[in-house]
């Protein structure tokens, strides 16, 4: 597909890399000639210098025969204008990044009136992910499928765990739990395990289950899932606002530390149930006075990666809190993953995943559709949810009679709200949604899972 990306920021660059890797024809528009040159030198893509909201610039970029325009500049209004002009000039699909909380209540109206294919809010999406983690603190990462009925959770197997040296096929019988183990990280290796694979302490294990089954599983392996009652957030930006708003209906007592006095006043009016503290979140004495040692969750959400990393490491040294660390740049991901930073949130990766999912669904013509897509286990594998149409080539055949690619697992079948943990005799039927976990990147339809 021919795709134009307006904006060479973090999200724009991440999207250009991912969509270029998947074989799309990418053109990037940006005013900054230096950023454009750097990107076009490292990737096999086109660059056009100029304002993406100018008709002539879009024409130069080839809007007439473009399939999709994605506007990811720092200005919501500019993104909306880019999409409006693209719709008129090229009648293509359009996606806008819209981040301002003032627009969040009107997003449906904006989408309909501007005829946007999709409006994405990175901060709101990141806040939703953090809110899920605070409600299920035993997990490092949680992704949801089947409209929230099924969750893909990741956690580290603790020392002396009953899972140590246990084979994957033994889990349902020995622990009486209906969970499906679908990926294991051991060091730098990612394994899609078969039944005979033996787990070890220290492995990062990803499994799929309903919320109820996941709770039972954690209880059986001795990891309690106590409800969080208090949380401390450092940084009063958009993610913190959205997160606190989402948690208003819970019993979690929220404390927000923010350095900017004007922003503290804003937050105190927007979030009457939260305690807003004006101060430097990197001041150890302030953190101790405000109870970092006793808080049950600690989220470092400032605009600086280095500060977030140091804050989380400090929180880990003085408390047993559930840690959440926001990271914007992913240049040192392999090193960051080895640190004790708890759950790491990458807002731009969450945004990119949503857009890549939409792009794959647009391409689809093979009787199934990508409904959900997550990059898991440090981006080395993907979990995809497909909707099955009646003309799909795998319909009606038992799983044991299908020849699947290696490093690929059918993890779950959702049939009208009934969650099926797949076994050999099960079949896939029209209308089902099927979750596939694989290290093969770029799957667009269910036919691609077969050899």
Is 115 found in the same domain as 48?
yes
Is 8 contained in some domain? yes
Q: What is the CATH number of the domain that holds 138?
A: 3.30.70.1450
Is 263 found in the same domain as 285?
yes
Q: How many CB atoms lie within 10 A of CB 431?
A: 12
Which pLDDT does position 366 carry in this prediction?
A: 40
For all residues of the chain together, what is the average pLDDT?
Answer: 88
Is 162 found in the same domain as 65?
no
Which pLDDT does position 256 carry in this prediction?
A: 97
Q: Residue 348's pLDDT band (boundaries 50, 70, 90)?
A: confident
Is 244 found in the same domain as 199?
no
Q: For 204-221, what is each residue's pLDDT tens digit?
A: 899 988 888 888 888 888
Q: Give yes or no for residue 72 having a pLDDT over 50.
A: yes
Which pLDDT does position 29 carry in this prediction?
A: 96
Percent of the chain with pLDDT over 70: 96
Is 254 found in the same domain as 182?
no
Q: Which domain, by its residues, includes 173? A: 127-220
Beta carbons of 149 and 419 less than 8 angstroms apart: yes
Q: For 77-131, what is each residue's pLDDT tens digit?
A: 999 999 999 999 988 999 999 988 888 888 889 888 888 888 989 899 899 989 9
Of these ranges, 63-67, 373-377, 385-389, the one predicted with the greatest mean pLDDT is 63-67
Is 414 contained in some domain? yes
Q: What is the CATH number of the domain that holds 90?
A: 3.40.50.720
Beta carbons of 451 and 405 less than 8 angstroms apart: yes
Is 103 contained in some domain? yes
Q: Residue 363's pLDDT band (boundaries 50, 70, 90)?
A: low
Structural domain count of the chain: 4
Average pLDDT estimate for 413-436: 87
Is 141 found in the same domain as 116?
no
Is 154 found in the same domain as 88?
no
Q: For 294-347, what is each residue's pLDDT tens digit?
A: 999 999 999 999 999 999 999 999 999 999 999 987 667 777 777 888 899 988
Is 357 contained in some domain? no
Is 361 contained in some domain? no
Please tell me the distance from the alpha carbon of residue 177 to that of residue 174, in angstroms, as a whole number: 8
Is 431 contained in some domain? yes
Q: For 148-170, what is each residue's pLDDT tens digit?
A: 778 888 888 888 889 999 999 88
């Amino acid at each position: 597909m021919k795709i134009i990306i307006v904006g060479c920021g973090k999200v724009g660059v991440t999207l250009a890399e991912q969509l270029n890797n998947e074989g799309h024809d990418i053109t990037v528009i940006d005013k900054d000639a230096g950023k454009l040159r750097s990107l076009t030198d490292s990737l096999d893509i086109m660059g056009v210098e100029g304002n993406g909201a100018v008709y002539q610039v879009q024409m130069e970029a080839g809007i007439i025969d473009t399939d999709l325009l994605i506007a990811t500049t720092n200005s919501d209004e500019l993104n909306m204008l880019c999409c409006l002009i693209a719709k008129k000039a090229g009648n293509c699909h359009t996606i806008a990044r819209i981040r301002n909380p003032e627009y969040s209540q009107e997003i449906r109206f904006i989408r309909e009136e501007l005829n946007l294919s999709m409006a994405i809010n990175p901060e709101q999406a990141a806040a939703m992910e953090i809110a899920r983690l605070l409600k299920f603190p035993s997990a490092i990462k949680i992704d949801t499928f089947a409209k929230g009925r099924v969750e893909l959770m990741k956690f580290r197997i603790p020392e002396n765990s009953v899972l140590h040296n246990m084979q994957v096929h033994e889990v349902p019988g020995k622990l009486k739990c209906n969970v499906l183990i679908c990926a294991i990280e051991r060091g730098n290796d990612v394994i899609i395990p078969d039944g005979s694979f033996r787990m070890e302490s220290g492995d990062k294990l990803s499994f799929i289950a309903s919320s109820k089954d996941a709770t039972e599983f954690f209880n059986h392996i001795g990891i309690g899932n106590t409800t969080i009652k208090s949380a401390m957030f450092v940084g009063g930006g958009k993610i913190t606002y959205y997160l606190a708003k989402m948690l208003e209906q819970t019993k979690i007592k929220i404390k927000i530390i923010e350095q900017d006095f004007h922003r503290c006043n804003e937050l105190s009016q927007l979030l009457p149930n939260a305690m807003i503290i004006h101060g430097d979140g990197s001041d150890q004495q302030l953190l101790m006075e405000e109870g970092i040692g006793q808080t049950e969750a600690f989220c470092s959400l400032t605009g600086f990666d280095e500060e977030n990393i140091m804050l989380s490491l400090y929180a880990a040294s003085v408390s047993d809190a559930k840690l959440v660390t926001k990271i914007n740049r992913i240049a040192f991901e392999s090193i960051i993953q080895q640190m004790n930073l708890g759950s790491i949130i990458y807002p731009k990766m969450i945004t990119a995943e949503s857009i890549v999912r939409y792009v794959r669904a647009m391409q689809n013509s093979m009787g199934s559709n990508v409904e959900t897509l997550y990059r898991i286990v440090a981006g080395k594998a993907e979990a995809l949810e497909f909707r099955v149409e009646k003309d799909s080539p795998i319909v009606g055949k038992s799983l044991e009679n299908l020849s699947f690619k290696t490093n690929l697992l059918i993890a779950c079948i959702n049939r009208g709200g009934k969650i099926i943990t797949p076994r050999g005799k099960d079949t896939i039927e029209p209308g089902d949604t099927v979750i596939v976990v694989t290290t093969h990147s770029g799957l667009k339809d269910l036919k691609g899972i077969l050899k």
